[in-house]
Structures are given as C-alpha cells and as structure tokens.
Structure 1
Amino acid sequence: MSGSAKKVAILISGGGSNMEVLARDMTGDHPARPCLVLSNDPDAGGLARAAALGIPTAAIDHRTFPDRAAFESALLTRLAEDAPDIIALAGFMRILTPGFTRAWQGRMLNIHPSLLPLYKGLHTHARAIDAGDAQAGCSVHEVTAELDDGPILGQARVPVLPDDTPDTLAARVLIQEHRLYPAVLRRFAGGDRTRLDLPPVVNIN
C-alpha cells in the first residue's frame, strides 16, 4: 500500500457485492486502498470474497454482545488496529449509535437503495413501486447520527417499469450501485466532496 494512499475499512453484513466493486476499483492511481473488510456476521459471504482478494477480514458477531454499545466498543477496538482513514458501509445492516457516528463523522460513507431523502430505512423498492414513482435509484451519503441522513455525495437513477416487482427493481438499482459507489469513494478519498449525479440509464434491458 502506498504511504500516501488513504486506508479504507469496508463494513458488510452479507454477500459483499458492493464491497467487491469498491475493492477492485482501489488499484492503480486510486487515492485509497482497502485495509480491512469487517462483518457483524461471521457467516457473511463477503468475508470469503474479500479474503480471495487478499484483503484482511474480521468478524464481530453482534449477537454475542449484551447491547449495542458493547458491540460498537468491540468494533472500534478492532478498527483501531488498522487505523482506517475512511469507513465505507456496504450493506452493513446494523444501526450505529450517535456516539459511533460522531467519532467517524466526515470519514464514513454509506450507500442506500433509494433516492434520498425518499424512503429511508428498509423496503425501499416496494415503497417506490407502491408510491407510483417513475424513477428509483441509489444514493451515497456521509453518515451522520440520523438514519440514512447526512450530505448526499452522489445519486444514480433508473426508471420504474410498469411490471416491476421489488426484486426486479432491486436488481436494476444494484447495477447502478456498483457504478456509483466506486466513483464517489474515489472522489471522496481524493478530497472531492462535490455531488456526483450519474447520467440517467437509457438502456434498461
């Protein structure tokens, strides 16, 4: 790892598809490199994907702690070992307390599968369909104490089709997540926090 490169810890809970695209992008002239992939689930499929890429991994099972504060204390202790400059949440399904988010404010990103500020929380695709929205998409934002809040650093949009289900819409949005998150992280690690809006998708097949 270059001495001048920012160190990025990626937090996951599942398969790690966004983690993998972030990690694969952090090569060459990228201003950052992955230093750790950490999950709250020891069985998360993304841990094996990260190990296959040669990235150090760790698991801290939130179910073994009496409360959120104890879990986050263990999380902070493990993160301190690698001293990342940036945390990228990539499908990390634990709500973080204000104490944790304050400690990392300005250095922690998240990707959310909606066009924030619409549809914070869960079931974003079903909610977009039920609302009759013409467009859906994803947002990358800085993490603050309020859930799915914080400055929006980028968005990508897809059309909502008449026969969409939450699953078909989610699959189409995920393709855009894999375009948007690496682009925003690259800019963010280089000190550019201006908003990035990807061109709307024309080919929806």
Structure 2
Amino acid sequence: MVAVPRKPDATPIVVLVSGSGTNLQALIDAAADPAFGVRIAAVGADRDGIEALARARRAGIDTFVLPVTDFPDRAAWDAALAECVGAHDPALVVLAGFMRLAGPAFLARFGGRTLNTHPALSPSFPGMHGPRDALAYGVKITGATLFVVDEGVDTGPIVAQVAVPVHDDDTAETLHERIKISERAMLVEWVGRLATAGYSVDGRRVVPGSAPHPPDPKDIP
C-alpha cells in the first residue's frame, strides 16, 4: 500500500508538460484560489520553447527543462528527472500532457504519487490514439481516465473517470476536443480532492481521504 497524507496547508505539486499546457493552465487557475489547497511548486518539461512553460513563467512558477537528448541514455534522463522533481519536495506529481514514460528511477521515488490522464475509458484504448481508436471501434460512449502512474502505458490504478458521448458526425479531432474539456474538469477536481483529503493506493484501488497521517516510510516506493 502507498499512502499520501492529507496536508494542513497548500499541498505542493510538480506538473510535467510537453506541449501547449491547457491542463496546466486549468491547474494554475484553480490554484489561484487558496481554497483549492494546492501550490504548484514547479513545472518541468522535456523540451524548451513550448507554450506550457510560457504559461508557468507568466504565473511566476519555477520551471526546469530536461531534454532527453542532453543525456547519454533514457536511464540517465529518468534519474535526472527524479532529482529535479524531488528538489521541489512535491506531495504529488501531475503529468499534464507529458509525452514521456516514467522510468524505474522516477517510479522508485514517486510511484504512487504521480497522476496522469488518458483520453479514453481505461482499460479500453490505451496509447497515443485513444479517441481515434474509440471512434474506429464504434463505441457510443468514451471519455477520460485519471490514474496513478505505474510502469505500463495507461495501466495504473484508476482514480476517476468521466464519460463523453460519441456523436455520429464526430471525427477523431472533434471527439478529442470534447474529451479534453471533461478531462480538464476531472483533473482539477480530483487533484484538489486528493491534495486536501489525502489518499491511499491498495492494489488497484485508490481510496481518497484514507491517509490522514504521514505514511510509514516503508510504504512509500
């Protein structure tokens, strides 16, 4: 079991990004209200010159950039990512459009405390093209999933899901845009809830509000 305790003050999080940062912006906007209970301690990226970093800098949030090409291999990059994130001592790490898989060094430090979203109703349609694959399969309902990151691709324990209907005239692009709207709302709601109430991960079950005290260090990966 992994337990993330409730914090009496604003819970520090680190957000990792790779693109335009619309999910990040939703979190920035929510964190402007003290009642949200979250402080974005830093935003990290795997490449520079992206709008997500510009959003963070405009909001006065610390940023760091770690291109994979700056390291001899993925393992070295993964270890450096864990160090950079750890320097900000986050209770939670949120992958907001971050297009890199977390590796062993990162998960050893932040496993159970890293959240990501997927634009499909897991376990269906994992991978890069969830909306396209859902449309091709002919489903009538798809949606978005918030999950705790593990070593797989969109396979971690599920925190929350939201349903989005598929319209007859949808394209992969129009469907994905509607999913993103629901995805952002779900992300903001649950990051706030988990930050203020704490949670535990027991197997595949994520239980909000179940870690009111600091966890035993042996329970944290």
Give 3-state SS (helix, strand or coil) of 1:50's partner.
Answer: helix
Q: How does 1:37-186 map to 2 (within 5 A)?
A: 37-186=43-192
- 1:18 corresponds, among 4, 23, 36, to 23
The one-letter amino acid of 1:110's match is N
Q: Is contact 1:138-1:157 (8 Å) kept? A: yes
TM-score, normalised with respect to structure 2 = 0.83
In 1, distance between residues paired with 2:11 and 2:122? 27
Q: Is contact 2:79-2:105 (8 Å) kept? A: no
Tell me whether 1:28 sits opposite 2:38 in the alignment.
no
**Alignment length (residue pairs):** 194
Deviation, structure 1 residue 3:
7.6
Give 3-state SS (helix, strand or coil) of 2:27's partner.
Answer: helix
Deviation, structure 1 residue 28:
1.5
Deviation, structure 1 residue 194:
4.1
Q: Is contact 2:16-2:44 (8 Å) kept? A: yes
In 2, distance between residues paired with 1:66 and 1:59? 16
1:82 to 1:32, Cα distance in 2 relative to 1, 3 A: same
Q: Is contact 1:101-1:145 (8 Å) kept? A: yes
Q: Is contact 2:82-2:109 (8 Å) kept? A: no
Deviation, structure 1 residue 92:
0.4
TM-score, normalised with respect to structure 1 = 0.89
In 2, distance between residues paired with 1:160 and 1:194? 30
In 1, distance between residues paired with 2:8 and 2:45? 26
The one-letter amino acid of 2:16's match is L
Q: Is contact 1:102-1:144 (8 Å) kept? A: no
Q: Is contact 1:7-1:85 (8 Å) kept? A: yes
Q: Counterpart of 1:200?
A: none
Which contiguous aligned blocks of 4+ residues in structure 1 show a shift greater than 3 angstroms?
192-195
Identity %: 34
In 2, distance between residues paired with 1:37 and 1:112? 20
Give 3-state SS (helix, strand or coil) of 1:157's partner.
Answer: strand
Tell me whether 1:4 sits opposite 2:26 in the alignment.
no
Q: Deviations over 1:12-65 (max 9, x none)?
A: 000010011012112311222100010001122100011111211111111222
The one-letter amino acid of 2:77's match is F
